[in-house]
């Protein structure tokens, strides 16, 4: 079955046909490193991770670029307030960002270009746009893209200029522009920029926000590439502007498939730094959450649906993940037993993988994919109960789970809860007590261990210790 994605450009689900067979070139809008990213931001990065892993699961080689916006109004303001050079200021948040990616088990992209490392490419692109007549140099040395010269402007968001509601920002705009909707490619130096500037043919200044994505995607992915993603709030103006710049400069199609994820909500409202209603990953971990639970919560809702974040969802995630972990533990134990497995095993495994795959292929329908996974868990558990899933059958089931988890990134089949010697000793003590049918003592030990964070489960094969 072919991969299908909802393309924001056409507002339809379309079959994914890569430009180069067997390969997917992907540009994913990354963070502006002026602060810790919040989990709304991470919803987008997790959606992109799911996309990436799904492409890989489908057998495609992925070349992913995620930009780091390390020069813009907010980073400059932050650095000034902190009284440190821009690069020092942004380094902190770049490092935090990568640490958070690891916490969430997000697969690394092939390239993480920083805007400040690509100023020459941006200047070259701006120059091309001027040369081709799509941009104007203002008296102050700023350069603006003139949307009047690009008739297709507005295609992504269906906006018509005459129907736009003028906002405060536009009305108060002091820049010299032909039209209110024109946007800056290059911003002339102003005092507030402090030591942040680069020389350009138009004088000192810095790049506009949008130009970095056009310049860097071109450098790493080519003039035309397969997929561009971001949060829905980036559709306008950011992505619309990218299309205008890139297509005007290159005279060819910029991106074939645009995928946008919906917002993360909290208490029914969009989570945003500007609204102040946000949680960072660090906030949640401080409250006892862990990376894979948060990953599960943020991945569990289809990317085009608004996701209302709640602590209840985190608690539910813990239980669902425990079910998967326990299943893996049972399979590993069953693996050690020899004997024939039920004839149904191969079929169950095939159904699990094809169902999982079919869900993801259909515009990343994670709910359908997880439904297939949990059906497999139930059916396989039933066979495990009946002793019909052992040895090689269990090995095959574990292998299928591992393949599925290459996409999900949440199961921890390799996890060996290192049992501290003291805990192990007390567990042995309980075992002895049980053997002697001294259940009072056995239960006392079990309760004591529980309070220390360890759960003892008695199975036909002996005790099993689980970290709570």
List the interface residues with RNA, window 402-441 (CB under 7 A). 434, 439
Does 233 contact RNA by CB under 7 A?
A: yes
DSSP state letter for 24 = E
Token look-up 């949008």 returns 210
Q: Which stretch binds RNA (CB under 7 A): 15-23, 60-68, 196-204, 306-314?
A: 306-314
Q: Quick one: 25 or 330, whose CB is closer to RNA?
A: 330
| Closest by Cα among 122, 136, 130 to 248 | 130
CB of 353 vs RNA, minimal distance in Å: 16
Cα 121 → chain centroid: 27
List the one residue from 81, 163, 338, 416 that touches RNA (CB under 7 A).
163
Peptide bond into 237 cis (omega under 30): yes
List the one residue from 182, 212, 242, 247 that touches RNA (CB under 7 A).
182
Query: How deeply is 166 buried, as exposed, middle or buried, from its count of CB atoms within 10 A (0-12, 13-18, 19+)?
Result: exposed
Number of residues interacting with RNA: please give it, by CB under 7 A: 93
- Token pair listed for 289: 């959450």
Task: Tell me how far apart the alpha carbons of residues 412 and 325 are, in angstroms, rounded to a whole number.
Answer: 7
Does 354 contact RNA by CB under 7 A?
A: no
CB of 321 vs RNA, minimal distance in Å: 9
Does 73 contact RNA by CB under 7 A?
A: yes
Q: Quick one: 82 or 439, whose CB is closer to RNA?
A: 439
Q: Quick one: 287 or 378, whose CB is closer to RNA?
A: 378
Q: Which stretch binds RNA (CB under 7 A): 68-76, 92-100, 214-222, 247-255?
A: 68-76
Task: Tell me how far apart the alpha carbons of residues 243 and 210 are, in angstroms, rounded to a whole number.
Answer: 10
Q: Which stretch binds RNA (CB under 7 A): 60-68, 91-99, 231-239, 335-343?
A: 231-239
Task: Tell me how far apart the alpha carbons of residues 352 and 350 are, in angstroms, rounded to a whole number.
Answer: 5
Cα 151 → chain centroid: 33
Site string for RNA, 27-46 (x = CB under 7 A): --x-xx-------xx-xx--
Task: Tell me how far apart the alpha carbons of residues 320 and 335 are, in angstroms, rounded to a whole number.
Answer: 23
Does 389 contact RNA by CB under 7 A?
A: no
Q: Quick one: 139 or 165, whose CB is closer to RNA?
A: 165
Q: Quick one: 205 or 359, whose CB is closer to RNA?
A: 359
Does 192 contact RNA by CB under 7 A?
A: no
- Token pair listed for 24: 């997917």
Residue 187: strand pairing partners: 206
Determine which helix (DSSP H) or strand (DSSP E) holds 169, and give its type and residue range. helix 168-171
CB of 50 vs RNA, minimal distance in Å: 13
List the one residue from 302, 332, 403, 406 that touches RNA (CB under 7 A).
302
Q: Which stretch binds RNA (CB under 7 A): 95-103, 179-187, 217-225, 403-411?
A: 179-187
Residue 308 sits at φ, ψ, to 5 deg, of -90, 110
Does 368 contact RNA by CB under 7 A?
A: yes
Q: Which stretch binds RNA (CB under 7 A): 130-138, 212-220, 299-307, 387-395?
A: 299-307
DSSP string of 83-103, one letter each residue: TS-HHHHHHHHHHHHHHHHHH
Q: Which stretch binds RNA (CB under 7 A): 87-95, 268-276, 332-340, 387-395?
A: 268-276
Query: With the CA atoms of 50, 101, 39 and 12 taken in that order, what torsion angle do they form, in degrees rounded to the nearest 10?
Result: -20
Q: Quick one: 252 or 336, whose CB is closer to RNA?
A: 336
Within 326-345, the residues that bind RNA by CB under 7 A are 326-327, 330
List the one residue from 141, 203, 237, 413 that touches RNA (CB under 7 A).
237
End-to-end Cα spacing for the chain = 41
Q: Which stretch binds RNA (CB under 7 A): 98-106, 112-120, 363-371, 407-415?
A: 363-371
Task: Tell me how far apart the alpha carbons of residues 274 and 82 are, in angstroms, rounded to a whole number.
Answer: 19
Q: Quick one: 97 or 202, whose CB is closer to RNA?
A: 97
Rg, Å, the chain Cα set: 27
Q: Is 225 helix (H, G, I), strand (E, B) or coil?
A: strand
List the one residue from 88, 192, 269, 429 that touches RNA (CB under 7 A).
269
Across the chain, which distance is largest between two alpha carbons, in Å? 93
Does 20 contact RNA by CB under 7 A?
A: no
CB of 410 vs RNA, minimal distance in Å: 12
List the one residue from 333, 342, 362, 405 that touches RNA (CB under 7 A).
362
Query: How deeply is 112 buried, as exposed, middle or buried, from its count of CB atoms within 10 A (0-12, 13-18, 19+)?
Result: middle
Cα 310 → chain centroid: 18
Q: Quick one: 19 or 412, whose CB is closer to RNA?
A: 412
CB of 395 vs RNA, minimal distance in Å: 19
Q: Quick one: 62 or 232, whose CB is closer to RNA?
A: 232
Q: Is 240 helix (H, G, I), strand (E, B) or coil?
A: helix
Site string for RNA, 104-133 (x = CB under 7 A): ------------------------------
Burial 175-193 (b: 16+ CB within 10 A, else e): eebeebbbbbbbbbbeeeb
């Amino acid at each position: 079955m072919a991969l299908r994605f909802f393309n924001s450009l056409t507002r339809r689900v379309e079959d994914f046909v890569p430009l180069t067979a067997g390969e997917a070139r992907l540009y994913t809008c990354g963070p502006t490193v002026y602060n810790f990213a919040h989990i709304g931001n991470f919803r987008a990065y997790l959606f992109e991770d799911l996309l990436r892993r799904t492409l890989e699961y489908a057998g495609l080689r992925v070349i992913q670029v995620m930009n780091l916006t390390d020069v813009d109004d907010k980073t400059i303001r932050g650095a000034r307030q902190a009284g440190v050079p821009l690069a020092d200021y942004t380094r902190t948040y770049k490092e935090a960002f990568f640490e958070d990616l690891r916490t969430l088990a997000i697969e690394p992209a092939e390239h993480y270009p920083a805007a400040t490392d690509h100023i020459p490419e941006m200047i070259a692109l701006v120059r091309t746009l001027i040369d081709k007549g799509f941009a104007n140099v203002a008296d102050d040395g700023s350069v603006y893209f003139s949307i009047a010269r690009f008739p297709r402007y507005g295609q992504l968001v269906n906006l018509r200029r005459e129907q736009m509601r003028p906002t405060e920002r536009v009305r108060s705009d002091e820049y010299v522009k032909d039209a209110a909707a024109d946007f800056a490619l290059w911003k002339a130096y102003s005092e507030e920029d402090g030591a942040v500037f680069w020389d350009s043919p138009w004088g000192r200044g810095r790049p506009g926000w949008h130009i970095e994505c056009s310049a860097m995607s071109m450098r790493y992915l080519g003039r035309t590439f397969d997929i561009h993603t971001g949060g829905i709030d980036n559709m306008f103006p950011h992505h619309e502007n990218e299309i205008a710049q890139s297509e005007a400069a290159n005279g060819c199609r910029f991106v074939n498939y645009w995928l946008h994820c919906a917002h993360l909500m909290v208490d029914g409202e969009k989570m945003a730094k500007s609204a102040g209603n946000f949680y960072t990953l660090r906030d949640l971990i401080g409250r006892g959450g862990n990376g894979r639970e948060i990953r599960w919560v943020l991945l569990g809702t289809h990317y085009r649906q608004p996701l209302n974040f709640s602590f209840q969802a985190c608690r539910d995630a813990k239980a669902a993940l425990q079910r998967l972990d326990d299943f893996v533990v049972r399979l590993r134990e069953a693996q050690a037993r020899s004997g024939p497995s039920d004839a149904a095993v191969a079929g169950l495994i095939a159904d699990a993988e094809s169902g999982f795959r079919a869900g993801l292929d259909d515009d990343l329908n994670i709910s359908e994919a997880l439904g297939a996974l949990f059906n497999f868990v139930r059916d396989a558990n039933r066979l495990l109960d009946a002793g019909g899933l052992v040895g090689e059958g269990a090995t095959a089931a574990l292998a299928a789970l591992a393949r599925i988890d290459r996409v999900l990134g949440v199961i921890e089949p390799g996890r060996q809860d290192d049992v501290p010697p003291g805990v192990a000793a007390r567990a042995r003590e309980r075992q002895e007590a049980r053997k002697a049918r001294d259940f009072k003592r056995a239960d006392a030990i079990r309760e004591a261990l529980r309070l220390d964070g360890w759960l003892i489960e008695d199975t036909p094969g002996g005790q099993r210790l689980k970290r709570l």
